[in-house]
Amino acid sequence: MATTYLEAIREGIWEEMERDPNVFVIGEDIGIYGGAFKITAGMLDHFGEKRIVDTPISESAIVGAAIGAGMMGLRPVAEMQFADFITCGFDQIVNFAAKCRYRWGASVPIVVRAPSGGGIHGGPFHSQNPEAWFVHTPGLKVITPSTAYDAKGLVKSAIRDNDPVIFFEHKALYRRVKEELPQEDYTVPIGKARVFREGSDLSIITYGAMVYVAEEAATELEKEGISLEIVDLRTLLPIDEGTVLESVKKTSRVILLHEDTLTGGIGGEIAARIGEKAFEYLDAPVMRIAAPDTPVPYSPPLEEAFLPNPQKVLEKARQLLGY
């Protein structure tokens, strides 16, 4: 039976809680209510209130408690109800958790789950993609899975990791993406991208929900005899530079696609690395497709115009191929 992206994350957390009694979940409405998106449904009855910890509406308290518990040998999974609210715990994540390993060798094995992304008509406070803030913070790991297989394998790897991990889950993928998952225990390595679709004419470097936008465009271009390669980064920090450069050298044309806004987005960082390390392989300029530099609109037609879509990818791809 196919497993949804949402259920894959739930299974991964559940299995890690069964495997390791030091793993617990902390957040708002995660107990009796089962979480805003029902990731923790049933966990309170099974694991009890000492391991499914409901909190007040205070992300700062959630993150602070998780850091303290992690430093005392536990492995907290802290849920932000929406990624946007992670700002309330930002100081503790970037100025404390991320720096403990560097300052005095301390392990802070916490996972901060952050449901992110638009396409759900949630408006500017429930639709952001704030990954770039954390990619700029040494000491963190930043994960952005696009498939159910990767979501489960990466959340398990994140929980087992001895350093702080920000785990971005795109809300639009929760029930849209399904696949058959292995019955046996497995993990997916942090820091390793994968080629989602093989191609030879143009590379799209992307992650999260944009993998499927790229796939739609690739399917359309295939009808025109154009072969588009899609690299799914999976982890944004540390970034798998090798897989990116290998794809660029193969196709000589590249689009960097992300849902986050353009300025200061991770696309600019990857473009710089390609320019530094693969310039002689390029047959055309490196192109970026991203959201415009505005808050996420609430109005459905405006949100649709705001988000990258297959048509925008097709236009940019045809421009690049004709360069």
Cα separation, 126 vs 296, in Å, equals 9
DSSP string, 86-105: GGGGHHHHHHTGGGHHHHH-
113 is written with which tokens? Answer: 């789950």
Give 293's Cβ-side CA count (13 Å radius): 4
Q: What's the 3-state SS for 57-69?
A: CCHHHHHHHHHHH
∠ CA 110-111-116, nearest 5°, is 150
Q: Which of 121, 126, 170, 258 is catalytic?
A: 126
Instruction: Please indicate whether residue 258 is annotated as part of the active site.
Output: no
Return the closest-CA partner of residue 7 out of 148, 117, 102: 148
* Dihedral pair phi/psi, residue 221, rounded to 5°: -70, -30
Query: Would residue 134 be called left, alpha or beta, if left means φ above 0 and alpha means ψ between -120 and 50 degrees?
Result: alpha
Cα dihedral 168, 173, 178, 182 in deg (nearest 10): 0
The DSSP H or E segment spanning 211 is helix 210-222
Cα-based distances in Å from 89 to 143, 165, 307:
18, 14, 27
Whether the Cβ atoms of residue 167 and residue 154 lie closer than 8 Å to each other: yes
Return the closest-CA partner of residue 203 out of 183, 223, 231: 231
The DSSP H or E segment spanning 250 is helix 241-251
Q: Which residues does the annotation mark as catalytic?
A: 126
